[in-house]
Structure 1
Amino acid sequence: MNELSLVAQAAFQPANTADIADALVNASGLRVDIQRRRGRGAGMNPGGRFEPTERVAYDDGWTTLEDMPPFRTEVQVEKPRTAITRNESPDIPFDRSVNPYRGCEHGCIYCFARPTHAYMGLSAGLDFESKLFAKPDAPRLLERELAKPGYKPRTIAIGTNTDPYQPIEREWRIMRQVLEVLQKANHPVAIVTKSALITRDIDILSAMAEKGLAKVGISVTTLDRKLARTMEPRASTPTRRLEAIRKLSEAGIPTAVMMAPVIPALNDHEIERVLDSGKAAGACEASYVLLRLPLEVSPLFRDWLLQNYPDRYRHVMSLVRSMRGGKDYDAEFGKRMKGAGPYAWQISRRFEMATKRLGLGRRSMQLRDDLFVPPNGSGVQLSLL
């Protein structure tokens, strides 16, 4: 069986078969030249799982692959019908969220949201971090939804899918407008980000936090700047994230340090150092999530690992599979965030001991929902009564 046959077979079968998986990450035909993807996280741009065909770059001699243009960030406007996305997952602490953007320019290789680009007919690889969608109508739609009769406020989570403070937020400012809507309505919000840009909105967040309406989680995956640069190429540096924790905390905004994800044999040795640094910066809570490799994320991550840390490839993947029932990923509720088995228990125990020593709570800060006032702005539909 030739290389392309193995690639095609891997694209349409689960990634829990080691020989096919390893054939995919070694398939040079899928890998994009480094000059075209400089500053990006993924090394490949395979077709989405719903696409009937797989496209492979191949130099037929008529031209050269080096002449192909580099991947540049493109932003399209998306027109959603609603702003609030709801879920019933039993292992996450929120039932609703808002996503100002689709795709994320940070380019984190491990991002579990990458497969969502398949719904747009795009790749979970380089497309996910370069072909982005902005939702400028999100603030108006959110205001209208909050004003609906019978709406019951509960904490809205933002940043649980793609980062609301990714670089394009500087220009589009959709996240700030969303916060302005929530502030006027006294609606609770919990934000997760790995961008220092969040400090721009301290004026809004501090006013909301004073009423018990806002809290923030800053994801610090590593203190190693080189690893961060490789793994999260366009996210804020670890130093800037810790500085963001300090500024938010000093402004009275409850802030958590999050180690998400913990990757065995790559950054798990830093658990205690990350928590120590977060506490020193002013964090009052802490949490972690084990590496998740659903669908297309698995071959993308394994290709990245093979290219950047080939000496650790087998060890990392062996430990990952030991915590996922022998597979690259187990999506079972209750296990997908923390894994199972001896190594997963060891990580959990280390985290527990470190947070106890530092006095870092785990989701101890509860936000208020009794101050909510339904919006009555210009975008709200008037009552017929």
Structure 2
Amino acid sequence: MNPKSTIKGRGAQLNVHNRFFQLSHEMRDDFLEFCQKEDEQVDKNKTLYLPVFPKTIVNKVESPDVGMQYSMNSYQGCEHGCIYCYARNTHEYWGYSAGLDFERRILVKKDSPKLLEALLKKKSWKAHPIVMSGNTDCYQPAEKEFEITRQCLEVFLKYKHPVSIITKNALILRDLDLLEALTKDSLISVNISITSLSENTRRILEPRTASIKKRLETVKVLSENKIPVNVMLAPIIPSINSHEILPLAKAASDNGALSIGHTIVRLNGAIGEIFSDWIKKTMPDRADKVLHQIESCHGGTLNDSRYKTRMNGEGKIAEQINNLVKLGRLKYFKDKRKPKLNTELHEQFKDGQLKLF
């Protein structure tokens, strides 16, 4: 990989065309030559935080194979820059590219706690676990500044409502006090995403995420404080991290995780172009092999939207991956059980305090 030819600290190396736009932009060679002669920066590579004001914050999940009924996303776009992220496509709905814009134009929903509280107070609302976040990471770098996730956890605690968290950032430990309070009533579960035990792999796949060491330490600290943790080995990418499944499962179990989950990478929509461009620049020696193996898991295409098969794939390579995960569960999690979240308390706390009558 030639560092001069890549954008430092980012996953995507280009902005792909937004499918909803009639016009497109391109970086012309004569403009690049002019910038070089004038010693001007072509791209400042800065992250912008842009406030948005939605009317609601909790979404009902219609897809039958994602394992959640409701999700909320206080941030759209994600500075972590994971090259494979399925959420990239959603940035096009906001008028941005799924490529670099997804990592550098972060939409911030500051009203999230207020909107969440309004929902939980509704008489018609029945408690179901709500996932933070079903789309982008609720503990991405923006959370250090805005603390929206922490405020939302305070709302969940106040109304005794179950919540599940998905993250790959050690920043979650900042909120250990709230997580401990929630776990006393079985109101919290945490999913930590760990895709590799190699820092070299982590740095190119997920450039602005917490280190592997930090993530394993996070699993350990949460587990030691009785907070149930599931580790997501997601996504598994053939010939990049597929050989690490059993070591990852062991590391997760050794640090206290109660279970593991996994998906096989799929490159829907604009992600296929973004990922293909990235791997040809970062791993040119195996780019074609990896892309062909991904295709073999999804009926000969990178783009797989078929329910039930899209997550676990099909074919021999997918079968090998799924069998290794099953073996990992049998070998390292045989006697472990993840507790069910408590949905019984919320009705008594609809107004924020215990109802006596």
TM-score scaled by structure 2? Answer: 0.93
Deviations 1:25-65 (A, max 9, x none): xxxxxxx9746x31111111122111112211013267226
| Aligned match of 1:130 | 104
Residue in 2 that maps onto 1:63: 34
Counterpart among 340, 359, 362 of residue 333 in structure 2: 359
Residue 338 (1) aligns with residue 312 (2)? yes
Q: Deviations for 1:296-336, whole angstroms, at most 9, x for unmatched residues?
A: 01110111111111111111111111110111121111011
Q: Does the CA contact (< 8 Å) of 1:192 and 1:218 recur in 2?
A: yes
Aligned to 1:140: 114
Match of 2:15 in 1: 45
Residues 312, 318 of structure 2: 8 Å contact kept: yes
Give the structure 1 partner of residue 351 of structure 2.
376
1:102, distance to aligned residue in structure 2 (A): 0.4
Write the letter of the residue equivalent to 1:289.
Answer: T
Q: Is 2:127–2:161's contact at 8 Å kept on the other side of the alignment?
A: yes
Q: Which residue of the partner structure matches residue 129 of structure 2?
A: 155
Q: Which amino acid is 1:158 matched to?
A: M
CA spacing shift, 1:363–1:41, aligned 2, 3 Å: farther
1:85 to 59, 84, 87: 59
* Aligned-residue RMSD, C-alpha: 1.7
Tell me, in whole angstroms, the C-alpha distance in 2 between the residues paired with 1:346 and 1:366.
30
Aligned position for 1:256: 230
1:295 pairs with 2:265: no
Partner in structure 1 of residue 79 of structure 2: 105
How far did 1:160 drift?
Answer: 2.1
Instruction: Confirm or deny that 1:328 pairs with 2:302.
Output: yes
The question of whether the paired residues in 1 share the 8 Å contact of 2:159 and 2:350 is answered with yes
Partners of 1:143 and 1:231 in 2: CA distance: 36
The residue type equivalent to 1:51 in the other structure is F
**Cα distance, 1:350 vs. partner?**
0.8
Residue 375 of structure 1 deviates from its aligned partner by 4.2
Give distance in 1, aligned partners of 2:219 and 2:232. 11
> Which residue of 1 is the match for residue 152 of structure 2?
178
Percent identity of equivalent pairs: 39
How far apart, in 2, do the equivalents of 1:175 and 1:39 lie? Answer: 24
User: Deviation at 1:362?
Assistant: 9.1
Name structure 1 gaps, 5 residues minimum.
1-31, 378-385
* Structure 2: stretches of 5+ with no match in the other structure: 353-357
The match for 2:355 is none
- SS of the equivalent of 2:260 reads strand
SS of the residue 1:218 aligns to? strand
In the alignment, the residues of structure 1 paired with residue 334 and residue 78 of structure 2 have an alpha-carbon distance, to the nearest angstrom, of 29
Distance (whole Å) between structure 2 residues aligned to residue 361 and residue 261 of structure 1: 25
Q: Secondary structure at the match of 1:257?
A: strand
TM-fit CA distance, 1:71: 1.4
What does residue 350 of structure 1 align with? 324
Distance 2:170 2:148 in 1: 16
Contact residue 212 and residue 368 of structure 1 kept, 8 A: yes
Distance 1:129 1:360 in 2: 39
Structure 1 position 365, deviation (Å)? 2.6
> What SS does the corresponding residue of 2:186 show, helix, strand or coil?
coil
Q: Which letter maps to 1:227?
A: T
The question of 1:276 aligning with 2:250 is answered yes
What's the offset of the Cα at 1:282? 0.8
SS of structure 1 residue aligned to 2:29: coil
Question: Are 1:164 and 2:138 counterparts?
Answer: yes
Q: What corresponds to 1:191 in structure 2?
A: 165
Map Cα deviations across residues 236-266 of structure 1 (whole Å, 9 max, x no partner).
0111000000010011100011111000011
8 Å contact from structure 2 (residues 159, 351) kept in 1? no
In 1, distance between residues paired with 2:26 and 2:12?
Answer: 16
> How big is the shift at 1:292?
1.8
1:241 and 1:200 map into 2 onto residues whose CA distance is: 14
Q: 1:118 to 1:33 in 2, by over 3 A?
A: farther
Query: How far apart in 1 are the matches of 2:334 and 2:178?
Result: 25
Report deviation, 1:345.
1.1
Q: Which amino acid aligns with 1:52?
A: Q
181, 186, 199: which one pairs with 1:225? 199
In the alignment, which of 190, 201, 221 is matched to residue 175 of structure 2? 201
